[in-house]
Structure 1
Amino acid sequence: MWLKHDDCRKLVQESWRNQVYVCPMFILGQKLKRLKSAFRTWNTEVFGNIHTRVKNSLAVVDVIQNCINENGPEQELFDREVLAQNQLLSDLVMEEDFWKEKSRLNWHISWDRNTNFFHKVTKIRQVTKTMSLLKVGDEIMTSQSDIANHVLDY
């Protein structure tokens, strides 16, 4: 999400430009600390709460559309609606990127451990692979116990 923003590269360059003179590993550590604090500040100032931005953009679009319904079609309102729709679309894309990153983070953090996440994924796979009905000749079996008994007898 941050990499798609134009100012991200500038922020990294400005933060990295400051010189520190000690051993190379200390220099790297100091520059990374500065970059982290710069990213935190930049995130709150530029992006803020993404979910609130989506709600606010949606509210603006609703207000403009209500004005169009009440006052009739006016070019100024149509222009404002187009701008509001574009803002809403960009906020929705940003929110989608946010959730994609969150899902990847959860996947990397929780996948290889014996956790609740792993068990949920396994149960979902197990449910989707169950046999819900079995046709034997002209007879269709839908009961799990009937299907199990038939498979065992076979």
Structure 2
Amino acid sequence: MAEPKNGLRRRFPFRFEKMWLSHPNLFSSVKDRWNVHLDSSAMFWVAKNLRHVKERVKKWNREVFGDIFVQKFAIQEELVLIQGKYQHEGYVNDNFAKESEALSKYHNIIAREETFWRQRSRALWLKDGDKNTRLFHISTLKHRTANRIGHMMNNGRIIDNEDEISRVVVEFFVDLLKKDTLLDPKAQNMLADTIPKILSESQNHNLIAIPSKEEIKSVFFSFDGSKAPCPDGFLMFFFQHFWDVVGEDVSNVVKEFFGARSLLKELNATFIVLIPKKQGVDSLHAFRPIILCNSFYKIISKVLTSRLLGVLPLLISPQQIWLFTRKTNS
């Protein structure tokens, strides 16, 4: 979106930072808040615990982890002072020890900064190795610039005010998404009667059976933990890293969905992200909307997709199976 012109900083959604995992105190902070007893269903339990963890880690970030960029500048200043003493005091052991300690802190901060920019970049092809902070930083800035909506055409006039652009975008998608595109029940029944029943009762049952904890865990760990952000800010790596703490509860959420056939609204929220089809677009029709779903939606979808792969040869041609598998794994 456009930058605000009223001088006020825009509030960004919460994002659980992967660099926080490098701090030894984080695990206890998450564990303490997750173990709050809530007498409710698994979905309510997990939704409330995620809110508790969110508030705890936001406070922990301010009071314990701190601003890595401020810390980086302070350590750089400290190193300059220590290395400047060599000219007056010579190479004494005390200065060596202080320099070694400061360098260790500096390297830790640099590693956290790299993780910070890697999480925001789209350079997913690059694996861990040499420090690539500058590359990730540039990649992030390019991505933000390419996706920034600086102006837009609306009813024949150009608008460049952030609030007005936001209003136009919201109105456009509210109108688009509220349109009823479903067939009426009679038409649905007529369409269903034309589809032959190929799968047996047992095969249909297996598709919707409540999954085991092992099946759910396997699906959780099959994801790249750092891909697209979720509305609640908890990417897949959070659940993977804290599985010993949260695994039982999040598995119960997936099981509860397969039993109740519905997902709590808090766990089913989505972001709509506008991707420009080409550079320099100024019309909403020139954007491709994509949906960023929460982790639970992705897990449930992949459980169903993995099961469906087992019966696809009975339903579609081998060529279609290859295309379906390719899209599922991408």
CA contact (8 A) 2:78 2:102 kept: yes
Number of the residue aligned with 1:86: 104
**CA apart distance, 1:47:** 2.0
One-letter code aligned to 2:23? H
Equivalent position amino acid for 1:16 in 2: W
For the Cα contact (< 8 Å) 2:68–2:112, is it kept in 1?
Answer: yes
Give the alignment of 1:4-83 within 5 angstroms: 4-83=22-101
Aligned to 1:95: 113
For 1:39-69, what per-residue CA distance to the aligned partner results, in whole angstroms no more than 9, with x for missing partners?
1011112221111110100000000000112
Give the one of 102, 107, 114 matched to 2:276: 114
1:21 match: secondary structure? coil
TM-score in terms of structure 1 length: 0.66
SS in 2 for 1:94: helix
Structure 1, unpaired ranges of 5+: 121-154
Post-superposition offset of 1:30: 1.3
Q: Secondary structure at the residue paired with 1:90?
A: helix
Q: One-letter code of the match for 2:121?
A: S
- Counterpart of 1:3 in 2: which secondary structure? helix
Higher relative contact order (CA 8 A, sep 6+): 2
**93 and 30 in structure 1: CA distance in 2 versus 1, 3 angstrom threshold:** same
Structure 1 pair 104/15, CA: closer, same or farther in 2 (3 Å)? farther
Structure with greater Cα Rg: 1
> What amino acid is the match of 2:99?
E
- Which amino acid in structure 1 is aligned with residue 55 of structure 2? S
What letter corresponds to residue 32 of structure 1 in structure 2?
L
Query: What amino acid is the match of 1:4?
Result: S
- The structure that is helix-richer by fraction is 1
* Moved beyond 6 Å, runs of 4+: none
Report the CA distance between 1:83 and its aligned residue. Answer: 0.6
Shift of 1:112: 7.2
**Corresponding residue for 1:146?**
none
The two structures have a TM-score, normalised by structure 2, of 0.33
Q: Does the residue aligned with 1:68 lie in a helix, a strand or coil?
A: helix
Q: Which runs of 5+ in 2 are unaligned?
A: 1-18, 124-139, 144-227, 230-272, 281-330
Offset of residue 71 of structure 1:
1.6
How far did residue 27 of structure 1 move? 1.8
Structure 2 contact 23–65 (Cα < 8 Å) conserved:
no
What RMSD over aligned residues (CA atoms) do the two structures have, in Å?
2.5
CA deviation map 1:97-151 (0-9, x unaligned): 1111122496647x97117xx749xxxxxxxxxxxxxxxxxxxxxxxxxxxxxxx
- For 1:73, give the aligned amino acid: Y
SS in 2 for 1:113: strand
CA distance in 2 between counterparts of 1:43 and 1:12 reads 12
The reply on whether 1:2 has 2:164 as its aligned counterpart is no
